[in-house]
Every structure is written in C-alpha cells, then in structure tokens.
C-alpha cells in the first residue's frame, strides 16, 4: 500500500502530500521499484489492458515514456506499486495513481470546462428556449451535467462531466471547494470592505465569509475586485457585494478548485488535461 494512502479518510486519499513532498519521495520510489523487479503484481488482470497503454491514453506521454514511469516506480494500481511492464489491468474498475495522484482511466468518462458567456442559462435544457449549456455540447453523445451553477448573467468557468461521483463531491459543502471571481462593482471601495467580507456577512440565508479578497483596479465610479470563497449558495457573490454597498455590474468566475480559465476564450469549451483531472480527484479525496 502507498505510504500516502489513509484508508480511514473519505475516499482513502485525503492525506496525500503536496507536489513538492511527492517529488522528494521519487528516489525512494525508484529504490522500491528496483527491489521489486520481477515480482508479480497483485493488480494484474490477465484479460485486462496493458498499463502503459492506459497511461499513454490518459495523456501522460508516449508509450515508451509511460513504460519508464512504471520502471521508475512511479505508478500504483489500487494502492500497490507496479513495476512490471507486462501488467494488465481493468481500467473500468481499478484505480491508477502516478506520483500519488490519481489519473482518469475510464474512457467513457468526459471532463470539460466551458467559459460561459452572459445570457446563457446553467441548465442542459431550458423550457423557455433560452441559450443553455447544451448548445456547447450538442455534438456529444454522452449524457453530461454541469458541476454547480452560475446565474444567467454571470460569466466564466463551469465544469461539465458524466462522472457522477466526482460531480457530487465537488458540489458538496463538505469538501469546501474554493471558487474565485472577478467582479466589476459600482463605486470606489472603502478601506474596510475587504476586512468586512473576510470577517463575514449575515445574509438572509445565513452567515458567509470570503476566504480571500483584493482590489484589482479602481477608476472613478467603478472598481474591479477579486474574491475567493467556498460557499456555493445562489448568487452569493452578488449578494455579498451588494450588502457592503457595491452592487455588481459584471461578474466572472475565473477558477473552480484547481481549474482556471487562463486564456480560454469566452464561449469556448475544452477537455481537461490529465493533470487537471487528477487535481480534481485529489481535491475531493478520490
């Protein structure tokens, strides 16, 4: 079993180290790999798919590069270190980790990120005929659903997937997934606005506080602020800023957990990279 695995934690992966800590264990993993060469892996499934092929299809490099990952002792299957190049596994039922981070092996699973424009409803079907998320994935056959919501006028990052377990965990308050927003608001901010939001505001549906807050830009009559919070309540950012006297004129979600928009253009959709999927799994203990 991996030294990073804690079976008592939800999902069994909550106590994984940071990337720096994982990197520092690389030499240990290599030593373990060399000492176990030639030993049959408990993960082997005789009629399964070769492990290096699965790694390559997950976007971790060429087949040869993925073989080297295995030989270097950086790959685990169901908590067991695998160093045999002939190892076959069942990608639909077994969990694969590279450098202690889980990768997606189920080819039927889809993970997408959309930069949603204003005016698009966060549903996969709108009975009133308004533009909705389905418009961006109407060329796909999978049944996709969105992770969380953005109100109609809010722009920015929204995730789409058919992975029900991941979606449920990302939306569950227990995992406190942070979301970051850029907001253009009316007026110039008083010096105490950030401290008030960090201390918390009592809204109609309960107490909410902001995790991080900073002023990005200020011009006469307008300000741009960035704030991060883990609450997923309806229109919570708009309500918070209105409560401190700065109604929102434009709102964009730029980050959801470890996933960022970066330079992704508005209205564009893209598949998540294998490392991004792994970071989402890690954030919710999968």
Q: Is 145 helix (H, G, I), strand (E, B) or coil?
A: strand
**The pair of three-digit structure tokens given for residue 136, joined into one six-digit string:** 């961006």
Which sequence positions are flagged as catalytic?
A: 151
Q: Is 143 helix (H, G, I), strand (E, B) or coil?
A: coil
Q: What is the C-alpha separation between 219 and 216, in angstroms, rounded? A: 11
**The pair of three-digit structure tokens given for residue 249, joined into one six-digit string:** 């004129």
Give the pairing of strands 212-219 and 145-147: unpaired
Give the helix, strand, coil percentages of the chain, each rounded to 5: 25, 25, 45
| 185 bridge partner residues | 223, 248
Give the pairing of strands 145-147 and 155-161: antiparallel
| Count of alpha carbons within 13 angstroms of residue 154, beta-carbon side | 22
């Amino acid at each position: 079993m991996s030294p990073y695995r804690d079976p008592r934690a939800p999902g069994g992966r909550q106590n994984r180290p940071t990337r720096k800590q994982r990197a520092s264990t690389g030499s240990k993993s290599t030593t373990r790999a060399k000492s176990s060469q030639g030993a049959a892996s408990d993960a082997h499934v005789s009629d399964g798919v070769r492990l290096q092929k699965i790694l390559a299809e997950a976007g971790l490099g060429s087949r040869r590069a993925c073989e080297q990952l295995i030989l270097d002792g950086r790959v685990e299957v169901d908590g067991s270190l695998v160093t045999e190049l002939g190892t076959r596994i069942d990608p639909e039922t077994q969990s694969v980790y590279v450098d202690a981070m889980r990768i997606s092996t189920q080819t039927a699973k889809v993970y997408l990120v959309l930069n949603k424009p204003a005016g698009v409803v966060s549903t996969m079907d709108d009975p009133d005929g308004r533009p909705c998320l389905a418009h961006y994935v109407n060329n796909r056959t999978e049944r996709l659903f969105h992770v969380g919501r953005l109100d109609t006028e809010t722009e920015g990052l929204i995730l789409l997937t058919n992975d029900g377990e991941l979606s449920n965990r990302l939306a569950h308050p227990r995992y406190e997934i942070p979301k970051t927003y850029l907001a253009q608001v009316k007026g110039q901010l008083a010096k105490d606005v950030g401290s008030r939001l960090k201390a918390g505001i009592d809204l109609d549906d309960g107490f909410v506080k902001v995790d991080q807050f900073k002023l990005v830009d200020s011009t006469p009559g307008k300000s741009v602020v960035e704030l991060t919070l883990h609450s997923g309540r309806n229109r919570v950012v708009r309500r918070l800023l209105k409560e401190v006297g700065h109604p929102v004129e434009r709102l964009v979600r730029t980050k959801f957990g470890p996933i960022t928009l970066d330079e992704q253009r508005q209205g564009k959709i893209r598949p998540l990279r294998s490392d991004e999927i792994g970071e989402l799994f890690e954030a919710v203990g999968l």
